[in-house]
Amino acid sequence: MAVARGEARRIAADLGFRVIDQTRIATVASELARNVVKYARRGRMIAQPFAGPTGRQGLRLVFEDDGPGIPDLEAAMRDGFSTGRGLGQGLPGSRRLVDDFQIESEVGRGTRVTVVRWL
C-alpha cells in the first residue's frame, strides 16, 4: 500500500498536480491497494499519464486483481457498506476523490478499478 501510495504521489507531482491533488491521488491509491491486499492478497496497480479526447492531461490508476470479486457492486459503492470489518468508505470515498471512476468485477474472477484525476 505504501509503495502504491508513494508511486502515485510521485507521478502526480511529476505531472504538475497541486499538492492537494497529489494527496487525493495518494489517498485513492492507498485505499484501492488496501482493498486488493485485503480481499485478493495480491494484484497490481498501473499508474500512467493520460490524455483525454480533448487533449486534457491527467493521471490514470488501474487496480487489478484475481480475487473473489464483488457480488453486489451497487451495495459496495454505498457509504458504510463493508463485507469486512472496515467503515465501508474505501470505494465510495475513492470515487469522490477522483474525476472518473469505473469498477468491473466478476465473482470468482476478480476486480478492476480504473480512476482518473484530471490536471
pLDDT reported for residue 16: 97
What is the per-residue pLDDT across 31-42, written as a single tens digit (0 to 9) for each? 999 999 998 999
- Mean pLDDT score across all residues of the chain: 91
pTM > 0.85: yes or no: yes
What is the per-residue pLDDT across 42-72, written as a single tens digit (0 to 9) for each? 999 999 999 988 999 999 999 999 999 999 8
Gap between the Cα atoms of 100 and 114, Å rounded: 8
pLDDT reported for residue 7: 97
In the chain, where the domains are located: 2-118
pLDDT reported for residue 87: 41
CATH class of 2-118: alpha beta
For the stretch 8-16, contacts whose Cβ atoms lie closer than 8 Å and that sit 24 or more positions apart, written own/partner, are 8/45, 8/47, 8/59, 8/61, 11/47, 11/48, 11/49, 11/59, 12/59, 12/117, 15/49, 15/57, 15/59, 15/119, 16/119
What is the per-residue pLDDT across 69-88, written as a single tens digit (0 to 9) for each? 999 888 888 876 666 555 44
Which three cell numbers mark 117?
484525476
Radius of gyration of the CA atoms of the chain, in A: 14
